[in-house]
Amino acid sequence: MENGDRKPFDTQDWRNILAASVTDPEKLQPFFDGDFKTLRTVTDRYPMRINPYYLSLIRSPDDPLGKQAIPDVRELEDPLTEADPLAEEPLSPVPGLIHRYPDRVVFLVSSACAMYCRYCMRKRNIPSDGRAHRDERNIENGIRYISDTPEVRDVILSGGDPLLLSTDRLAGILKQIRAIGHVDIIRIHTRVPCTLPFRITERLVAELKKHHPLYINTHFNHPDEITPEAALACSRLADAGIPLGCQTVLLKGVNDTPQVMAGLMRKLVKTRVRPYYIHHPDPVAGTSHFRPPLETGFNVMRALRGHVSGICVPHYMVDLPGGKGKMPVLPTKIRSVSDKSMTLENYLGEICEYGF
């Protein structure tokens, strides 16, 4: 299917689009050339969900969007075996809530997503039947933990995708968190503006804006994902006063060149989304075929800093194993340091001197 053949999705309800998702690899046969039957062994272990909107953006299974969505036998051949290298579970005081840093928690309120990304760092949590379910008891216990823990100033709703909850359910959770006096900010981490932009309805936005200060970090990995529909979803959120960030994952064959990444960053800021992090992929079982060498990320960062607007330049992050925390990493530019000055290389590769 070509981009030009896309159906006008905007007349449909997002729930209907989601319900029409392709979850059986064989059903990809009418859309692309290839043998998809063998991919059942992969989806038995790691479910697939490609909704018709995202499917309409894929030109071939090997293109940057196809790679993110369509299963690959290499997911089962991965020598890595750790499902939770960041020790999220040992760092969960109650199931579904990760408390790693002093002042903030990640609260997993939904296990479903509008698409199951093949490189997902929480692949272990994707429900085996691929269907939305939520554990109400975990949500209740999570809210109680936040309420009982005065150090928590920042609550990050994540999952899965929090925006796959119904608007009423999400509004209920936001209201309960907002009622906790020591919580300063709420963040929502969602891929829906990219994978199912029709979910960003006027009604959802009207609910979200009642809970300011609310921040949203979305997740785009390739410029082709920023369609007019995605841009409209982002505008609606930005118009509601919600600052938008983007967490991009550096992925082999998807966005691992300076050209693609610089193009993505420029397009994001045009869409009023401020690039926040480029994540080096975590060593999660079933995702190794997406992991580039660190030098690939350095190349990308060298192409950004100084060459494009500062607001297009996110931090490049590695997440240390065992839950030791995220660290920004930069290609080293300092050649030498003395008491009085340092020698460094600027963005054009020129050697410069900086005195103190």
Ligand X SMILES: *Cc1c(COP(=O)(O)O)cnc(C)c1O
Just list the catalytic residues: 100-101, 104, 113, 117, 120, 122, 282, 319, 326
Q: Does 116 bind ligand SF4 (CB under 6 A)?
A: yes
Token pair recorded at residue 293: 């060498």
Please report whether residue 98 would count as binding ligand X according to CB under 6 A: yes
Among 84, 161, 225, 229, binds ligand SF4 (CB under 6 A): 161
Contact 72, 118 (CB under 8 A): yes
- Tokens at 204, concatenated: 């959802």
Q: Site map for ligand X, 122-161, x if CB under 6 A?
A: ----------------------------------x-----
Residue 106's binding partner out of ligand X, ligand SF4, none, with CB under 5 to 8 Å set by partner kind: ligand X
Give yes or no for residue 276 binding ligand SF4 (CB under 6 A).
no
Q: How many CB atoms lie within 10 A of CB 17?
A: 18
Distance (Å, whole) CA 272 – CA 89: 34
* Tokens coding 74: 């290499």
Do 5 and 191 form a contact (C-beta atoms < 8 A)? no
Cis upstream peptide for 310 (omega within 30°): no
* DSSP single-letter state for residue 151: T
**CA–CA distance, 306 with 298 (Å, rounded to integer):** 14
Choose the stretch contacting ligand SF4; rule: CB under 6 A; options: 133-141, 155-163, 171-179, 333-341.
Answer: 155-163
Which candidate, 160, 161, 185, places its Cα nearest to that of 174? Answer: 185
- Site size toward ligand SF4 (CB under 6 A) is 9
- In the list ligand X, ligand SF4, none, the entry touching 104 (Cβ below 5 to 8 angstroms by class) is ligand X
What is the three-class DSSP state of 153? coil
Please answer whether residues 159 and 15 qualify as being in contact, where contact means their C-beta atoms are separated by less than 8 angstroms.
no
| Least separation in angstroms between CB 106 and ligand X | 5
- Shortest Å, Cβ 109 to ligand SF4: 12
| 69 binds ligand SF4 per the rule CB under 6 A | no
191 is an interface residue for ligand SF4 by CB under 6 A: yes
Residue 274, strand partner residues = 245
| HEC string for 237-266 | HHHCCCCEEEEEECCCCCCCCHHHHHHHHH
Nearer to ligand SF4, 36 or 116 (CB): 116
Query: Which stretch, 110-118, 258-266, 279-287, 321-329, contacts ligand SF4 (CB under 6 A)?
Result: 110-118
Residues 6+ apart with CB under 8 A from 221: 64, 68, 194, 248, 249, 251, 254, 255, 264
CB of 309 to ligand SF4, least distance (A): 27
Determine if 326 is a binding residue for ligand X (CB under 6 A).
yes
- Using CB under 6 A, pick the residue from 69, 70, 94, 117 that binds ligand SF4: 117
Per CB under 6 A, 100 contacts ligand X: yes
101 binds, among ligand X, ligand SF4, none (CB under 5 to 8 A by kind): ligand X
- Contacting residues toward ligand X, per CB under 6 A: 98, 100-101, 104, 106, 156, 326
